Amino acid sequence: LNACQNIDCVLIFVVNAAQAESVLFDSNLLAGLNPNALVINCVTLAPSKAVDIANKVQAQGFRYIDAPVSGGAAKALEGRMSIMASGAPDAMADAKPVFDAISEHVFELGDKPGGGSQMKLINQLLAGVHIAAAAEAMNLAASLDMDLHQVIDGIRKCAGSSWMLENRTPHVEDGDYTPLSSVNIFVKDLGIVTDEASGNDVATPLSETALALYRQASEEGLGGEDDSAVVKILARQSNVTLPGSNT
């Protein structure tokens, strides 16, 4: 980033808080920004961390928007992601052309950093638990020798469905765990959820159970696979043979 200069707006899409801090504070990035430039941080991180980073960036004369995103790679490529944004009104107004280019929905969650990350936290809680729940359901269905295609096709029209069930269970049916979003993402994100909850003395038993499953998958070498691969852990525990498995 030594060559960057005269930047008005920087969008940060690195993997985690540590990388975001490294790129912001251990590189020449901030020196290449114009005064009053917009720093839009789209990384999923703890709300308290968003506030901390915002304070440091703003102290150097830049504006900060806490702006985690959702929607997946396909929607991102179409410029149709969802942005959970919080920041000062003038910063939000100036960010509008960029938000219009990359998103279909912008949720304005207040004028202080942290609000966007709080919303993302709630989304990740549900997303992580729903993926694990869908895996548990697929494993039980497989153990009952049910036709997984029929199960998925039927349940998606029933009340037990979820966006994650519709999106992820075909990977199990196909035995294809090419990562669209990896197991390790949820080791990180449900870790943020349970840390934030326990710091506030809030019970999150479902998140903790799901997190334990993602952690076990990661420890058993599945961290880089699609997050639906948590089903393999359940299958091993249950002596179930899944599609595409050669054991």
Partner 1 sequence: MQTLVIGLGSMGFGAAVSCVRANIQTAGFDVNPDALERFKAEGGQFIH
Contact residues: partner 1, CB under 8 A: 1-4, 6-15, 19, 23, 29, 42, 69, 72-73, 75-79, 81, 94, 97-98, 100-102, 180-181
Which C-beta is closer to partner 1: that of 6 or that of 247?
Answer: 6
Burial of 97 (0-12, 13-18, 19+ CB in 10 A): exposed
Measured from the CB of residue 235, what is the shortest distance to partner 1 in angstroms? 27
Q: Which residues are catalytic?
A: 120
Which C-beta is closer to partner 1: that of 23 or that of 140?
Answer: 23
Measured from the CB of residue 32, what is the shortest distance to partner 1 in angstroms? 8
CA-to-CA separations, 33 to 28, 37, 239, in angstroms, rounded: 9, 6, 56
**Structural contact between residues 166 and 137, judged by C-beta atoms closer than 8 angstroms:** no
Which C-beta is closer to partner 1: that of 7 or that of 126?
Answer: 7
If we measure between CA atoms, which residue out of 226, 238, 236, 239 comes closest to residue 173? 226
Burial of 194 (0-12, 13-18, 19+ CB in 10 A): buried
User: How many angstroms separate the CA atoms of 1 and 207, rounded?
Assistant: 38
Measured from the CB of residue 90, what is the shortest distance to partner 1 in angstroms? 14
Sign, CA dihedral 141-179-204-233, equals: positive
Which C-beta is closer to partner 1: that of 98 or that of 206?
Answer: 98
Which C-beta is closer to partner 1: that of 185 or that of 190?
Answer: 185
User: How many angstroms separate the CA atoms of 218 and 224, rounded?
Assistant: 8
Sign, CA dihedral 97-103-108-112, equals: negative
User: How many angstroms separate the CA atoms of 38 and 113, rounded?
Assistant: 13
**Structural contact between residues 37 and 63, judged by C-beta atoms closer than 8 angstroms:** yes
